[in-house]
Amino acid sequence: MLLTAETVLTGRELLRPGWIGVSGTTVTDVGAGPPPRRADRDLGAATVVPGFVDTHVHGGGGSEFSAADSAATRAAVDLHHRHGTTTVVASLVSAAPAELLQQVVVLAGQVHDGTIAGIHLEGPWLAAGRCGAHDPALLRDPDDELDRVLAAGDGTIRMVTLAPERAGALTAIERIVAAGAVAAVGHTDASYEQTRAAIEAGATVGTHLFNAMRPIHHREPGPVIALLEDSRVTVELITDGVHVDGALYRHVVRSAGPDRVTLITDAMAAAGMADGAYRIGRLEVTVAGGIATLTGTSTIAGSTATMDRVFRFAVEHSGLPRDRALQEAVAATSVNPARALGLPVPELEAGARADLVVLDTNLGVSGVMLAGAWL
C-alpha cells in the first residue's frame, strides 16, 4: 500500500509532500516529493504523524483499567485508538494490596495478548499531602509488597510512580530499575534535595509535572526544578487546557528541551463520554464542562482528554512557526514517551510498525492506522 499526503512528519523530519509505503504490518519506505508509483490512497491536504503513545492513562469510553476486566480494558483502548493513540500504557490508581496484585495479574495478561503495551503503577507509594485523586487511606510506604507486585507483573510493568520522601523510597527506586521498569517521581511533597537523591537512585521520569507536586518556592525549589534541570529526566505534562497553562507548557519545553517532554492525557473513564458521575478507583468523580473533579471538591481527578487534544494544544500554544510546532508536538506525543519507557519508537521509517494518524487541516483525526490496518 502506498499513501501520499501534503505533509508527513516521520518523527525525524518533515516531508512536504510525502509518501509512505506499507506492507502488512510494517512501513517499508518513506520519502518526499513525487511517489515512486501511483498512490493506493491519496490523503490530500492531510498531515500524517506517527501513532500517539500515551504512557499515563487510566481509562476512557466509560471504563477504567482498574476494573481489571477484559471488556473494560477493550472499551478504554478502543476509545483511545479512535483518537490516534496506537500505544496505550494502562495506569492504575492506588489500591489495597490484594486488589493491586489482582489488577496487575489481569493487566499483565492483557499486555501479553497485545491489548495494551504495559502497566504504569501510579501509587500506592505516594504522599498523602499530595494525593490528588488517590484515596489517602490506601497510601503507604514501599516494602516487600513492591517485589511481589513487580514479580506478578512478569516484566509488563513499565513505570512506577512514587514519592521519594516516603520511608524506603530510594531503595524502592533501585529495585524498580533493577526489575527493568522506570521509576518516576510524582504525587510528592519532596524537597529539592530529596528529589535529587531520587534521581541519583535511578528515577528518570517526573509524573505530570506541577500537578500533585510541591510548588516552586524561591528558597526551596522543590521537585519541579530538580526534575527540570537534570538531563536524565523526562517530564510529563497534561496539556488538556485544564492542568497547565499554555505559557507554562512553553516554559517547560524551552527549559528542558523538546526531547525531554512527554505529553500525556491522564484520562479517566469519562474520556470520550458526556458529563456526569464516574469513578476513579474507589473515589467518586463528577464531570462538568468536560472537567473531572472529586465529587464535592475542586480537586482535579484526571482528565477527559484524548491524545489528539493534547497534541493540538501543544501546536497551538507553542509560540513557534507551525512546522516547528508540529515537529515538537510529534516528539512529545510519540517519540519521547516511547523512548522514556523503553517501548518501540513509532517513527515512520522502514522496518517500523505501521502506526500512524491522519490529521485534517484543523488537526482533527480523520484516520488511524494500527499495525498496517485502518481502524
| Active-site annotation, residues | 266
User: Is residue 362 annotated as involved in ligand binding?
Assistant: no
User: Is residue 282 annotated as involved in ligand binding?
Assistant: no
Contact of 84 with 374, CB cutoff 8 Å: no
**Residue with C-alpha cell 512528519?**
9
3-class SS at 250?
helix
Contact of 153 with 104, CB cutoff 8 Å: yes
- What would you report as the CA-atom Rg of the chain, rounded to the nearest whole angstrom? 20
Q: At what angle do helices 70-82 and 97-112 cross, to 10 degrees?
A: 60
Q: Say how far apart CA 48 and CA 68 lie, in whole Å.
A: 34
User: Is residue 133 annotated as involved in ligand binding?
Assistant: yes
Q: Say how far apart CA 365 and CA 3 lie, in whole Å.
A: 16
| Cα dihedral 239, 244, 250, 256 sign | negative
Task: Cell numbers for 233, please give them.
Answer: 529526566
User: Is residue 122 annotated as involved in ligand binding?
Assistant: yes
3-class SS at 296?
coil
Q: Say how far apart CA 342 and CA 195 lie, in whole Å.
A: 22
DSSP state for residue 217 in the 8-state scheme: B
Contact of 166 with 195, CB cutoff 8 Å: no
Kind plus residue range of the DSSP H or E element containing 196 = helix 192-201
The residues, any chain, with a CB within 8 Å of residue 137's CB and separated by 6 or more, are none
User: Is residue 81 annotated as involved in ligand binding?
Assistant: no
User: Is residue 184 annotated as involved in ligand binding?
Assistant: no
Q: Say how far apart CA 203 and CA 197 lie, in whole Å.
A: 9
3-class SS at 69?
coil
User: Is residue 208 annotated as involved in ligand binding?
Assistant: yes
Q: State the amino acid at position 51 in one-letter form.
A: G
Q: Which residues are annotated as a binding site?
A: 122, 133, 187, 208, 211-212, 219, 243, 300-302
Q: Binding site for substrate: what residues are annotated? A: 133, 211-212, 219, 243, 300-302
**Binding site residues for Zn(2+), as ranges?**
122, 187, 208
